[in-house]
């Protein structure tokens, strides 16, 4: 007889019934080859004594195995593994890393993400100078949840628990239409809007429809790395265009257009990532004219338009595009709370329809109730009140942050005070090892990036985006004092 006492381990504190655990244990012994077809199982009396179980528990387990055709009961002979089951070679227990790797790679597959960096976990409770995120402690989450609960409780709200329109909540699209028209001058209708799970999804959907393998896209020499990775994954070739203090150099772009076909331009004209520069008006107009002339798409990523401090922000390219070349992508939750994934893609209706169809292949729809709750916050003015309150606080934090950088770090780094956004682009002295700095800071209870996320094949700055918005004034003082001591 097999050593069932050691082969079968039951957890008496588990919420799973003992008879279910016992049945599953026998299934495991059959599927790993320990028990073969026609093997006899111990009687219910013997097994109950071996495992210290009530005999009825064993009987229930055997009955369930019989129902599922794992075993058969033969009168006056006993319980046997079904003869209909295929013979399985007994698998030895994997005890080594090599064995585990063989088990993982038991089938052939292609991994295009080998060696790719994992996204940082910012949910840990540790003092952090982040990449430029909003302070979620300012987020009116109570108001959002109040609307969420209120809608869910109402009779009509039950309908939002069913499958909905894949383009997103009609109420949210209408609320966004009004908000974007008032704040950004966008002349759009709800059919121009697709609600997404953040701007990242919008970039991916647009990429899949715009390009075929080996098509070319123009991007900045410095650029948002996650967008670059989407383009590369789709087989698109990246053409790097210089970015200076006035944004992407469209004169260089024009020279490239004369020599080669470019299918699209990806651009962050408002607070370019990572350098935070804003594209000048003359370059915006020239880029739109080049798009008309050479018939390429402009993917405009406007991830933090809502936060500006001194002057009125430039209108998006999409607001002054009269030839319908711009695909405008933004995020609600990037400026509200990053974990609440809602963004938008705006384009011509037929393109939006196609994006919606593609989106359904991987994600049938978004969170209808959450979208309805956000539409209520837009309609009752809470979103604008939140932005006005947050902007005042973030401006104070920016001023303090930059004041300390100017006084305590003037010999270590250089920066320009950003007119908007949530981060300062800081270029460190070339002798400063940012990777070592990041490691030492973590040991002192301060999390800060090592700069590697901003690097690409043509751009290797010794720089960091240093987010100030998510830190209180006391946290700014503490984090920068810690950083100064480490340096």
Residue with tokens 């209808």: 368
Provide mean pLDDT across the span 191-208: 94
Taking the C-alpha atoms of residue 134 and residue 422, their distance in angstroms, rounded to an integer, is 7
Does the pLDDT at position 188 exceed 80? yes
Does the pLDDT at position 445 exceed 90? yes
Provide mean pLDDT across the span 113-141: 78
For residue 179, the model assigns a pLDDT of: 92
Confidence category of residue 172, pLDDT binned at 50, 70, 90:
very high
Which one, of 369, 371, 405, 390, lies nearest residue 481 by Cα? 405
- What are the distances in angstroms from CA 35 to CA 2, 30, 95? 9, 5, 21
Torsion of CA 200, 205, 206, 209, to 10 degrees: 160
Provide mean pLDDT across the span 200-223: 96
Where do the domains of the chain lie?
4-81, 127-134+385-486, 166-381
Taking the C-alpha atoms of residue 214 and residue 98, their distance in angstroms, rounded to an integer, is 37
For residue 424, the model assigns a pLDDT of: 97
Bridge partners of 301?
329
4-81: what fold? Arc Repressor Mutant, subunit A (1.10.10)
H/E element, 127:
strand 127-129
φ and ψ of 321, to 5 deg: -90, 110
Which one, of 131, 29, 70, 184, lies nearest residue 338 by Cα? 131
Does the pLDDT at position 93 exceed 60? no
pLDDT tens-digit map of 259-305: 999 999 999 999 999 999 999 999 999 999 999 999 999 999 998 88
387 CB burial (10 A radius; 0-12, 13-18, 19+): middle
| Region 127-134+385-486: CATH code | 3.90.1150.10
264 contacts 227 by C-beta, under 8 angstroms:
no
Does the pLDDT at position 95 exceed 70? no
Give the torsion sign (CA, 79, 80, 85, 89): positive
206 CB burial (10 A radius; 0-12, 13-18, 19+): buried
CATH architecture label of 166-381: 3-Layer(aba) Sandwich (3.40)
């Amino acid at each position: 007889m097999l050593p069932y006492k050691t082969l079968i381990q039951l957890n008496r504190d588990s919420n799973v019934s003992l008879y279910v655990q016992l049945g599953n244990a026998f299934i495991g012994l059959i599927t790993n080859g320990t028990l073969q077809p026609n093997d006899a199982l111990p009687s219910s009396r013997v097994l109950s004594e071996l495992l210290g179980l009530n005999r009825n528990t064993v009987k229930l387990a055997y009955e369930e195995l019989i129902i599922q055709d794992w075993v058969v009961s033969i009168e006056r002979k006993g319980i046997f593994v079904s003869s209909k089951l295929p013979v399985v070679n007994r698998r030895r227990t994997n005890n080594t890393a090599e064995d585990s790797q063989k088990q993982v790679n038991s089938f052939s597959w292609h991994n295009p993400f080998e060696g790719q960096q994992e996204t940082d976990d910012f949910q840990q409770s540790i003092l952090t100078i982040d990449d430029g995120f909003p302070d979620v402690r300012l987020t009116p989450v109570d108001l959002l949840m109040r609307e969420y609960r209120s809608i869910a409780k109402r009779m009509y709200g039950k309908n939002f628990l069913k499958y909905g329109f894949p383009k997103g909540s009609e109420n949210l699209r209408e609320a966004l239409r009004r908000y974007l028209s008032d704040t950004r001058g966008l002349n759009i209708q709800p059919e121009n809007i697709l609600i997404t799970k953040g701007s990242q999804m919008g970039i991916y959907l647009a990429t899949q429809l715009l390009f075929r393998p080996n098509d070319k896209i123009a991007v900045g020499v410095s650029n948002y790395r996650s967008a670059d990775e989407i383009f590369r994954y789709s087989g698109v070739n990246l053409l790097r265009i210089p970015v200076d203090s006035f944004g992407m150099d469209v004169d260089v772009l024009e020279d490239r257009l004369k020599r080669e076909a470019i299918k699209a331009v990806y651009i962050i004209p408002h607070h370019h990532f990572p350098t935070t520069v804003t594209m000048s008006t003359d370059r915006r107009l020239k880029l739109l004219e080049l798009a008309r002339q050479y018939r390429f798409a402009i993917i405009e990523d406007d991830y933090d338009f809502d936060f500006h401090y001194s002057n009125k922000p430039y209108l998006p390219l999409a607001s002054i595009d009269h030839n319908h070349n711009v695909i405008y992508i933004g995020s609600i939750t990037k400026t509200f709370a990053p974990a609440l994934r809602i963004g938008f893609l705006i384009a011509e209706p037929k393109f939006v329809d196609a994006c919606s169809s593609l989106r359904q292949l991987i994600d049938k729809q978004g969170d209808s109730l959450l979208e309805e709750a956000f539409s209520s916050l837009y309609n009752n003015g809470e979103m604008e009140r939140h932005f006005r309150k947050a902007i005042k606080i973030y401006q104070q934090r920016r001023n303090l942050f930059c004041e300390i950088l100017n006084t305590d770090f003037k010999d270590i780094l250089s920066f320009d005070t950003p007119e908007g956004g949530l981060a300062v682009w800081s270029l460190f002295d070339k002798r400063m090892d940012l990777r070592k700095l990041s490691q030492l800071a973590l040991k002192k209870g301060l999390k800060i990036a090592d700069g590697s996320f901003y690097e690409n094949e043509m751009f290797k700055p010794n720089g960091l985006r240093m987010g100030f918005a998510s830190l209180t004034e006391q946290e700014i003082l503490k984090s920068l004092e810690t950083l100064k001591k480490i340096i």
